[in-house]
Amino acid sequence: RICPGEPTAINPNGNPNLSYEWSPEDEAIDLTNPWNPVVTTTIDRTYAVTVTDAERGCTIIAEVEIQVEDAVGLDVEPEVSNHCGGELTLTATTAVEATINWFLLPDNIPLGSGNELTFVPPLGTSELYAEAVSGANCTGRDTVTINNYPIDADITSDVLFCEPTDTTSLSVINNDPAQELTIVWASTGVLTDPSTGASVVVDPNVTDTFTATVSNQFGCSEVLTTTVTVIDLEGDLSISAEPTDILLGESSTITITGCEECTYEWFPPTGETVFPENGPVVTTTPNADGELTYTVVVRLDGCEQTLSITLSVLNAICDTKHLFFPNAFTPNNDGDNDVLRLYSSFLDDLLEVEWMVYDRWGEELFRTTDPRGEWDGTYRNEQLAPDVYGYWLRVVCPNEQELIQKGNVTILR
């Protein structure tokens, strides 16, 4: 029994000193060595052979039946594989039960065994083959060509601008000259028309993400993505304080809005502090009065912006310099000095206020506990005559100091 299509010597014990005549002498039999001819066939055949020993005068006639084993029928799919990197799986099938081994050419490097082979092929074009051996020791071989050309290209790295910009250029770089690349950019924000080619001009004000689909002649493709970030701290940030006008000893909260991922470095006036030391929202309780300017440096991804705000801090001293009660007024409805009232830059912060006006006989004409209370010079809806009247004033300041003052006030008409 021989394997189909495999040259097989059919008389391995033949004696070259004897004479052999084979019949028929067809295309399947090679009689170069007639004592042990080689038959290559895919179908069963029968040969007659006459063997003569001239020295002894003997002759015998025999018949040789050639039976062909079933073909291994090895087939590997796919025969040509355009691969784009990573693992590749090849599948082999046989017509009969067989043992299959895989080898990488040209050095016949073993890759594995079995009907399925999963491996990472080398980059470029390579060949491998599967070899199947049946139970009858017949073999089959099938070769596969692999074109492993994953996209080898880079896109412009992420770009960052620290201030508004109109346009910028992006590029795809081909790292493998053997590859013929086709590049198609997603059109959003791309100003170049058509949006193909290695380089394009883009507008980062439209979108911050740009993609290019890159393909090669082997059917491989990859989507490359980059970002263009425009950081406009000047336009995004704002600073505010609540309140901006405070009394000495009171607190104000300063707030930065417009950036959640920024870092903050505060520079309060000399001798002053903020809490917490870093953050978009801080609280300060000034130790001094006057105009105090607080500065903060805001940073994000290498960009920075400096902001400042000024607080007006008033020292609420409880004396006649900071609390003024006039000694005369002119209630003549001319819009100028028509009422008698208490004046102070921290009027609304007073803890207690009470003042009254009385005539020369001690009769009470007006009394109020409203810090903004006013007297128009009337008593029981009657205008009082020009004269000198007495007043009494009591104030408790924000620092809980008390001021009591008595004096005269003149009505002028």
- CATH, residue 271: 2.60.40.1080
Q: Let me know if residue 187 belongs to a domain.
A: yes
**Average pLDDT of the residues of the chain:** 94
Rounded Cα–Cα distance for residues 124 and 116 (Å) = 22
Q: Let me know if residue 50 belongs to a domain.
A: yes
Residues 38 and 57 in one domain: yes
Residues 22 and 41 in one domain: yes
Q: Inform me whether the pLDDT recorded for 303 exceeds 90.
A: yes
Cβ pair 309, 245 in contact under 8 A: no
Residues 190 and 262 in one domain: no
Residues 298 and 365 in one domain: no
Q: Let me know if residue 203 belongs to a domain.
A: yes
Q: Let me know if residue 323 belongs to a domain.
A: no
Final residue in a domain of this structure, among 282, 314, 346: 314
CA distances in angstroms from 160 to 204, 264, 302, 303, listed in the order given = 10, 20, 9, 9
The confidence band for 166, taking pLDDT boundaries of 50, 70 and 90, is confident
Q: Inform me whether the pLDDT recorded for 214 exceeds 90.
A: yes
Residue 163: its pLDDT value, please? 84
Residues 219 and 239 in one domain: no
Residues 86 and 126 in one domain: yes
Q: Inform me whether the pLDDT recorded for 1 exceeds 90.
A: no
Final residue in a domain of this structure, among 230, 255, 276: 230
Buried b (16+ CB within 10 A) or exposed e, 380-402: eeeebeeeebbbebebebbeeee
Residues 222 and 244 in one domain: no
pLDDT in tens, 167-197: 899 999 999 998 999 999 999 999 998 888 9
pLDDT in tens, 32-88: 999 999 999 999 999 999 999 998 999 999 999 999 999 999 999 988 889 999 999
> How many contiguous H segments (helices) and E segments (strands) does the chain have?
1, 37
Q: Let me know if residue 263 belongs to a domain.
A: yes
Percent residues over pLDDT 70 in the chain: 100
Q: What are the backbone angles phi and psi of residue 410, rounded to the nearest 5°? A: -110, 135
- CATH, residue 192: 2.60.40.10
Final residue in a domain of this structure, among 148, 180, 202: 148
DSSP 349: G
Structural domain of 372: 328-411
The confidence band for 372, taking pLDDT boundaries of 50, 70 and 90, is very high
- The pTM (predicted TM-score) of the whole model is 0.56
Residues 62 and 105 in one domain: no
Residues 283 and 250 in one domain: yes
- CATH, residue 338: 2.60.40
Range 52-55, long-range pairs (CB < 8 A, 24+ positions)? 52/18, 52/19, 52/21, 53/18, 53/19, 54/19
Q: Let me know if residue 321 belongs to a domain.
A: no
Q: Let me know if residue 319 belongs to a domain.
A: no
Percent residues over pLDDT 90 in the chain: 86
Q: Inform me whether the pLDDT recorded for 249 exceeds 90.
A: no
Q: Let me know if residue 320 belongs to a domain.
A: no
How much is the average pLDDT of 114-130?
A: 95
Q: Inform me whether the pLDDT recorded for 165 exceeds 90.
A: no
Residues 29 and 53 in one domain: yes
Q: Total structural domains in the chain?
A: 5
Which parts of 84-181 are beta strand (E)? 88-93, 98-104, 109-113, 116-119, 124-134, 139-148, 153-155, 159-161, 168-174
